[in-house]
Amino acid sequence: MAMQKELNQFERNEVWGLVPLPKEYPVIGTKWVFRNKLDESGIVLRNKARLVAKGYNQEVRGKVDNTLFVKKFKNDTMYVQIYVDDIIFGSTNTSLCKEFAKTMQGEFEMSMMGELTFFLGLQIKQMHDGIFISQSKYCNELLKKFGMEGCKEAATPISNNCNLDLDEKGIAVDNSKYRGIVGSPLYLTASRLDIMFVVCLCARFQANPKESHMKSVKKILNYLKGTTNVGLWYPKGVSLSLGYSNLDYAGCRLDRKSTSGTCHLLGSALVSWHSKMQACVALSTGEAEYIATGSCCAQILWMKQQLRDYGVELNKIPLRFDNTSAINLTKNPISHSRTKHIEIRHHFLRDHVQRNDCVVEFMETSKQLADIFTKPLPRERFNQLRIELGIIKESCLD
């Protein structure tokens, strides 16, 4: 029935027709996609069937439709974001939203879900002083999926003295089960930065997992058990953009590579973060920090481009890290015996600092927010950074 409804929509909206095959373009096939439309509580609203093009067969030719639209009306702005067949829109003037909804419903047969409360697995709570984003429903589904609903709670997702390695003499565990448990929390990191480091760490041992690795993975679920109602808080009225970069020098026991961690904020609102092992072995903490800060700078440049689409211009964005040697490298173009081996591609950080795209600033280690993405931390330090980065319990909003 859902399939027939979709075909009827094609006819009603006149969105297809027989045309001669253009010689310069290849034919893109189609496929049916089936899914259930859920509300924020996970209750099925309706069954959906969509006949879609196999976009993964397309070649990039420059003819790609926009998914973000921005329209300015005197002192007001309207934003429209499209994801497949879902549309999110908002404005600084509610009358513009009402007018847009009326126009769209006049052109297409579509349903209005009202104020955004659930999107792509994210639960969204809008309040007068900010927005709270969480994935509590997904957390509970994970615990149920792996039989951990009745497990004990853990204060942190990883012990601060945990040092995982290959554990070659350890007892092997089922690869598929391990990969399933590691892979499932990856989607949670879209709102749960507090598990980013440990999930990425455990993912390094998927090829040949041992009991010690499985124990660490299950501790993530123990931690989620006690923090299902935790999410990201975005306070209203933020403007300043900041970048933080940090690393754990030679922290990987397998090959002594360093782990980079970065986070980016608009005012006090965290908008981007990552934890990643560096691709090369650094010879000093200064070199490793220089490489990590370069990736942080790259993200800042991308964010500037994105914000420009929203009509926001930012310059001289502060980039804070805790290594004076790396700061000196960004300001001094002279190579000497201890830095001449650094690959050229890492020096683009220095170039953008000189262009004033970002400004490097020293930040004491005790105030370094990106610390949570690079290494296991004691409970007090972990909880402190979690709060400073905007991870709070939903009950704190009441």
**What pLDDT is stored for residue 60 in this prediction?**
61
**What pLDDT is stored for residue 241 in this prediction?**
67
Q: Is 345 among the domain residues?
A: yes
Q: Average pLDDT in the 306-325 region?
A: 83
**What pLDDT is stored for residue 307 in this prediction?**
83
Q: Average pLDDT in the 277-303 region?
A: 83
**What pLDDT is stored for residue 340 in this prediction?**
65
Residues 225 and 255 occupy one common structural domain: no
CA torsion angle for 42, 46, 52, 57 (degrees, to 10)? 20
Find all residues with CB under 8 Å of 124, minimum gap 6, and list them: 40, 116, 117, 118, 131, 132, 133
Q: Which of 356, 271, 274 lies closest to 307, judged by CA?
A: 271
Phi, psi at 265, each rounded to 5°: -125, 145
pLDDT tens digits, one per residue of 197-226:
999 999 989 889 999 999 999 999 999 999
Residues 353 and 333 occupy one common structural domain: yes
Q: Look at the chain and report how many structural domains it folds into.
A: 4
Statement: residue 35 has pLDDT above 90 = no
Residues 273 and 344 occupy one common structural domain: yes
Find all residues with CB under 8 Å of 251, minimum gap 6, and list them: 257, 258, 259, 374, 375
Q: Three-class SS of residue 262? A: strand
Q: Is 139 among the domain residues?
A: yes
Find all residues with CB under 8 Å of 26, minimum gap 6, and list them: 57, 59
Residues 81 and 151 occupy one common structural domain: no
CA torsion angle for 194, 198, 203, 208 (degrees, to 10)? -160
**What pLDDT is stored for residue 214 in this prediction?**
93
Please give the structure tokens belonging to residue 358. 């970002």
Residues 102 and 92 occupy one common structural domain: yes
Q: Average pLDDT in the 164-192 region?
A: 88
Least confident of 42-51, 298-307, 373-382: 42-51
**What pLDDT is stored for residue 51 in this prediction?**
86
Percent of the chain topping pLDDT 70: 90
Least confident of 151-160, 312-321, 335-344: 335-344
Q: Is 62 among the domain residues?
A: no
**What pLDDT is stored for residue 334 in this prediction?**
55
Phi, psi at 80, each rounded to 5°: -130, 120
Please answer whether residues 3 and 32 qualify as being in contact, where contact means their C-beta atoms are separated by less than 8 angstroms: yes
Which residues share a beta bridge with 233? 132
**What pLDDT is stored for residue 40 in this prediction?**
64
C-alpha–C-alpha distance, residues 108 and 9, integer Å: 9
Residues 218 and 174 occupy one common structural domain: yes
pLDDT tens digits, one per residue of 83-109:
877 889 998 888 999 999 888 888 877
Q: Is 258 among the domain residues?
A: yes
DSSP state, 365?
A: G
- Residue 43: half-sphere exposure toward Cβ, Cα within 13 Å: 2
Residue 142: enclosing H or E segment and its boundaries? helix 136-145
Mean pLDDT of the chain: 84
Q: Is 27 among the domain residues?
A: yes
> Is the C-alpha dihedral spanning 367, 368, 373, 374 positive or negative?
negative
Q: Average pLDDT in the 159-179 region?
A: 88
Strands 86-91 and 76-83: antiparallel
Residues 308 and 338 occupy one common structural domain: yes
Statement: residue 319 has pLDDT above 70 = yes
C-alpha–C-alpha distance, residues 245 and 293, integer Å: 6
CA 201 to chain CA centroid, Å, is 17
Q: Which of 322, 305, 324 lies closest to 313, judged by CA?
A: 305
Give me the domain span that covers residue 13: 2-57
Q: Average pLDDT in the 54-62 region?
A: 68
Q: Is 368 among the domain residues?
A: no
Least confident of 28-32, 65-69, 155-159: 65-69
Q: Average pLDDT in the 299-318 region?
A: 84
Residues 140 and 196 occupy one common structural domain: yes
Residues 249 and 287 occupy one common structural domain: yes
CA 153 to chain CA centroid, Å, is 25
Q: Which amino acid appears at position 366 of this protein? A: S
Q: Three-class SS of residue 138? A: helix
Q: Average pLDDT in the 302-328 region?
A: 83
Last residue of a domain, one of 115, 132, 153: 115
**What pLDDT is stored for residue 107 in this prediction?**
82
41 vs 364: which has the higher pLDDT: 364
pLDDT tens digits, one per residue of 248-272:
665 566 667 888 888 888 888 888 8
Q: Is 280 among the domain residues?
A: yes
Statement: residue 332 has pLDDT above 80 = no
Residues 228 and 242 occupy one common structural domain: no
Residues 181 and 232 occupy one common structural domain: yes
Measured between alpha carbons, how far is residue 7 from residues 19, 31, 145, 339 in Å? 18, 13, 35, 63
Last residue of a domain, one of 57, 78, 98: 57
Q: Is 375 among the domain residues?
A: no
Residues 170 and 156 occupy one common structural domain: yes
Task: For residue 330, give the CATH number of its domain.
Answer: 3.30.420.10
**What pLDDT is stored for residue 308 in this prediction?**
83
C-alpha–C-alpha distance, residues 9 and 269, integer Å: 41
Which residues share a beta bridge with 30? 53
**What pLDDT is stored for residue 363 in this prediction?**
86
**What pLDDT is stored for residue 339 in this prediction?**
64
Q: Average pLDDT in the 292-304 region?
A: 87
Q: Three-class SS of residue 276? A: strand
Last residue of a domain, one of 100, 115, 130: 115
DSSP state, 22?
A: P
